[in-house]
Chains A and B, each alone.
Chain A
């Protein structure tokens, strides 16, 4: 012990800041060390998440490193033992005066018409540290007032103080060096290359971190003044990364989302889609009241009327035999509480297990939940990252930033396995193409190479390189659906092969839909119940509280739609799902909607699918309701309401509760808090994630499911409001706009290096506590053979050992630990997954056909982008990309419209050559405006084969048919 403390002491550096001795970390910059100890040194260019450049000189203070006091930039100088920093000396003050006087020489001081006015670091620091008056009377430099440097960002060069933050961000963080310092000296300006706009998916971050009003976001410009803004801290649900945000409104309208720095997730960054798609929530197209079908038309109705119609349809359907007479599709848009309520409603009152939060565009829930899980930090800290999933830059942008950082700055090695090149390809040590449908073959061949003795002279052969990298000590696989035009089985098979061969491997899910992981955790998938347990294993546990449960597993999305198309679904509930747009096989989706007895849509927008419904129930949306959401790591974090929903739209869980009541049931859920408490009590994986913990400082970063620390670790947490957590503070209620934090000017919410310094990839991060990675790495408890019987008990024992018996008298918390509760069911074991069953082999390739690859781009025709005026025009539109060698035989050149035909349909699209698409494949982006992809895909086939042919001149404009 004594030794440890001694060692601990040696690892810090003692410095004196303004007369006070403080401990700093070796290598820490003076500016950061001082700030941690409550001394704020003014700055413009320094940003804790980027390299220091010493551009602005604002942080210059008197520092004595042993050779007498000298003026030095605190953002460039690491601490040294015995160093003395004097931020208040006359000299320090004089420098601050001087630097600000210089910075203002050319600054236009047009604060009254500047977006930044009121939250501007230049304003604030001039007031706090500046001279108050300038001796410069000369003409200031002039530039054209704001120029658009992209579709989303304006630049006012007169206001720019040349701090290099935006350019460093673009280059270092985003890897899109599209803006640069141009010219020099007094003429220096930030600008783009002519005709090459700053079209980065991350451009909005530069607006947030610009310390002046030089960079402006079009969607926010002139919308509000900072002092009119009201703000809550929440989580972005535009994809499953779950970036931490500050959500701001003015006059009950959302006007801005800002990134908040949390260490395990987004580091303060957001993607532009997440940042700007709040526009959709303000859209006039939002549903403010329920609709019911009257003949051909959907007419506005009262809730009473709409719910009566819905109840009638459900009631009628419920009396029909068959496990699929009622089916519920969707749920990834919902918060956890909503998903839980619907899961409970479906299983109990509706009596169906045919529920699926995924729309055939993900992976089997059993695999997603049952594989050993990894956090983002664990993935970034791994020696080797295997990427078998979609284009992360397009689908999970901030995860792309994190992984890019791991590769570029931390030396992680990336092995990419994908059917076409992606945004990640340039960062891969080995990037291997596989033919659609053949992912498993590729993985197996790599694993064979890996164990083979013949290491050969592999340096040049990417396959050997990849195999070599798979020998690393820590391997994390980022697993998703690389293409919607190939069945998910081969990907699962590949994952199973990896688990078999690499005992320590863990998986980071790359499913993109907002809360898909939360919805699966809440049991919105066939054969699953809340808390990552299977229907069989959880039956006893849940039926005690829930009552009787469906007797056999239901159908997944594809099964539901097939059943509906065959007239076997009497009532189809679309829970924020738009299968016509999002299901890979549009033909099947269309037949299903037509064939379903009746359709009830619960949605915030009248989507294409909702238009075909008999009843549409208006649901409130992100920003209009509180609750929790779960990101791709399984991290539960809180959502906060900021504005009121339009009209009478209401939360999904309330709709579920109401329907249950009208159907003669009772979900027993009467408040959001009650729903969470029941989840915490009943869902085996979520026990211990209490509301108290979620609103404690610990919950600020979110709490990873399965990562439950010792109970003693989280007793009586201080409430967020009193905590000294910097940045946007205050989880509950409204908090004041903290300008410095949101622009990266001040203390970001970063862990205290002295206490919370966990190395990336700490063991805690590796998946569920209960599902210890066993010999085959898949849900087998340590030491157990993969025999089926022992598994459940052993896992159970692990869980119980962690939780103890817990619970008071009145709390239903069955447990072996308490001993003699007799008939009390045992807590069911968490899900494990032993690989897919049989998979369909892709057909042999015929010489004339090409295999289709389809995945999403960031800007598509999805609901949020479509209804965000600033983002909708950014969707690239429909075209196909093909290898030049595959276009040549047609005798046409890039840019020509060609016909593309599959067994499902035909379309005419512009063909663009792209050497990143291997020969033998065609890429068509999914769900672009006018896109044909889902009109071509046949989910009945393991891969979709297509043919290209020339069209007579300009054929019909490429509708998907």
Chain B
């Protein structure tokens, strides 16, 4: 629960500079906030609002449109089990129930050690590999109940962290596009009155 840390403020300024208008950087900055805390806190949203010159309500409006920006604290690992049609036909419901038993929580809740948050989700576009789930949006396809248990044990024990980074991490290697490879002219390309 805090504002962006100094390193991320630097990063935020770089990201903002890539767009013609500061507000265009809003979604990337929400990712930065989520990466820092694992979720997007009101303080972070207010801070982003300052950085991109919007009202906090506008930041909240955008952030809340996307279910993947979490506005409540979540566990280190968010387990999203698909219960949409293909998965349902191939054991998605049972998979969810198994996860509930293994983690000891209902969808929407977080384990008391703060490690796992369970949620049921609509189709995650992997129907050909049903039933499936995601942990921090990394796919686990045609997953069996045993594999779920093993995965949970590994993550809890601090293994496989390279495969599944903590919630909020988009990528481990942040892509840095050097200015000479930028396209467009940034704010210069805009008529002055809307810069």
- List the interface of chain A (C-beta within 8 A of B): 171, 176-184, 191-196, 411
- Measured between beta carbons, the chain A residues less than 8 angstroms from B193 are 411
- Measured between beta carbons, the chain A residues less than 8 angstroms from B64 are 182-184
Residue pair A196, B56 in contact (C-beta under 8 Å) = yes
Residue pair A193, B60 in contact (C-beta under 8 Å) = yes
Residue pair B65, A193 in contact (C-beta under 8 Å) = no
Please report the C-alpha to C-alpha distance between residue A411 and residue B192 in the assembled complex, in whole angstroms: 11
- Measured between beta carbons, the chain A residues less than 8 angstroms from B54 are 177
Contact code string B38-50 (vs A, CB < 8 Å = 1, else 0): 0000100110000
The verdict on B6 contacting chain A, using a C-beta distance below 8 Å, is: no
Expressed in whole angstroms, the minimum distance between the Cβ of B27 and any Cβ of chain A is 14
Expressed in whole angstroms, the minimum distance between the Cβ of A160 and any Cβ of chain B is 14
Q: Which residue of A lies closest to B66 (CB)?
A: A184
- Measured between beta carbons, the chain A residues less than 8 angstroms from B60 are 180, 182, 191, 193
The verdict on B58 contacting chain A, using a C-beta distance below 8 Å, is: yes
Please report the C-alpha to C-alpha distance between residue A171 and residue B58 in the assembled complex, in whole angstroms: 10
Residue pair A178, B65 in contact (C-beta under 8 Å) = no
The verdict on B141 contacting chain A, using a C-beta distance below 8 Å, is: no
The verdict on B61 contacting chain A, using a C-beta distance below 8 Å, is: yes
A-B complex: 10 closest residue pairs judged by Cβ atoms: A180-B61, A193-B56, A180-B57, A177-B55, A193-B57, A182-B64, A184-B65, A183-B64, A193-B60, A178-B57
- Are A177 and B57 CB-contacts (below 8 A) given A194-B42, A411-B193? yes
Contact code string B11-32 (vs A, CB < 8 Å = 1, else 0): 0000000000000000000000
- Measured between beta carbons, the chain A residues less than 8 angstroms from B59 are 193
- Measured between beta carbons, the chain B residues less than 8 angstroms from A182 are 60-61, 64
- List the interface of chain B (C-beta within 8 A of A): 42, 45-46, 54-61, 64-65, 193
Q: Among the listed A183, A184, A192, A411, which residue makes an inter-chain contact with B57, where contact means beta carbons less than 8 Å apart?
A: A192
- Measured between beta carbons, the chain A residues less than 8 angstroms from B61 are 180-182
- Are A183 and B58 CB-contacts (below 8 A) given A193-B45, A194-B42, A411-B193? no
- Are A179 and B57 CB-contacts (below 8 A) given A193-B45, A194-B42? yes
- Are A176 and B65 CB-contacts (below 8 A) given A182-B60, A193-B46? no
Please report the C-alpha to C-alpha distance between residue A411 and residue B45 in the assembled complex, in whole angstroms: 31
Please report the C-alpha to C-alpha distance between residue A181 and residue B64 in the assembled complex, in whole angstroms: 9
Q: Main SS of chain B's interface residues?
A: helix
Residue pair B65, A196 in contact (C-beta under 8 Å) = no
Task: List, sorted by A's number, 16 A–B pairs whose CB atoms are closer than 8 Å.
Answer: A176-B55, A177-B54, A177-B57, A180-B61, A181-B65, A182-B60, A184-B65, A191-B57, A193-B45, A193-B56, A193-B57, A193-B60, A194-B42, A196-B46, A196-B55, A196-B56
Residue pair A180, B42 in contact (C-beta under 8 Å) = no
Number of A-B contacts (CB under 8 A): 41
- Measured between beta carbons, the chain B residues less than 8 angstroms from A179 are 57
- Measured between beta carbons, the chain B residues less than 8 angstroms from A193 are 42, 45-46, 55-57, 59-60
Q: Which residue of A lies closest to B49 (CB)?
A: A193
Please report the C-alpha to C-alpha distance between residue A176 and residue B54 in the assembled complex, in whole angstroms: 10
Please report the C-alpha to C-alpha distance between residue A805 and residue B46 in the assembled complex, in whole angstroms: 68
- Measured between beta carbons, the chain A residues less than 8 angstroms from B57 are 177-180, 191-193, 196
Expressed in whole angstroms, the minimum distance between the Cβ of A200 and any Cβ of chain B is 10
19 new A-B pairs (CB below 8 Å) besides A171-B58, A178-B57, A193-B60? A177-B54, A177-B55, A177-B57, A177-B58, A180-B57, A180-B58, A180-B61, A181-B65, A182-B61, A182-B64, A183-B65, A184-B64, A191-B57, A192-B57, A193-B42, A193-B46, A193-B56, A196-B55, A196-B56
- Are A178 and B55 CB-contacts (below 8 A) given A183-B65, A193-B60? yes
Expressed in whole angstroms, the minimum distance between the Cβ of B108 and any Cβ of chain A is 14
Expressed in whole angstroms, the minimum distance between the Cβ of A487 and any Cβ of chain B is 37
Please report the C-alpha to C-alpha distance between residue A195 and residue B193 in the assembled complex, in whole angstroms: 33
Q: Which residue of A lies closest to B60 (CB)?
A: A193
Q: Which residue of B lies closest to A177 (CB)?
A: B55
Q: Which residue of A lies closest to B62 (CB)?
A: A180
Q: Which residue of B lies closest to A181 (CB)?
A: B61
Please report the C-alpha to C-alpha distance between residue A852 and residue B93 in the assembled complex, in whole angstroms: 71
Please report the C-alpha to C-alpha distance between residue A176 and residue B56 in the assembled complex, in whole angstroms: 11
- Measured between beta carbons, the chain B residues less than 8 angstroms from A195 are 42
- Measured between beta carbons, the chain B residues less than 8 angstroms from A194 are 42
Expressed in whole angstroms, the minimum distance between the Cβ of A914 and any Cβ of chain B is 16
Expressed in whole angstroms, the minimum distance between the Cβ of A224 and any Cβ of chain B is 31
Please report the C-alpha to C-alpha distance between residue A196 and residue B61 in the assembled complex, in whole angstroms: 13
Please report the C-alpha to C-alpha distance between residue A411 and residue B193 in the assembled complex, in whole angstroms: 8
Please report the C-alpha to C-alpha distance between residue A24 and residue B60 in the assembled complex, in whole angstroms: 41
- Measured between beta carbons, the chain B residues less than 8 angstroms from A178 are 55, 57
Q: Which residue of A lies closest to B55 (CB)?
A: A177
Expressed in whole angstroms, the minimum distance between the Cβ of B98 and any Cβ of chain A is 28
- Measured between beta carbons, the chain A residues less than 8 angstroms from B58 are 171, 177, 180
Q: Which residue of B lies closest to A180 (CB)?
A: B61
- Measured between beta carbons, the chain B residues less than 8 angstroms from A183 are 64-65
Q: Which residue of A lies closest to B63 (CB)?
A: A182
Q: Which residue of B lies closest to A411 (CB)?
A: B193
Please report the C-alpha to C-alpha distance between residue A181 and residue B59 in the assembled complex, in whole angstroms: 10
Expressed in whole angstroms, the minimum distance between the Cβ of B193 and any Cβ of chain A is 6
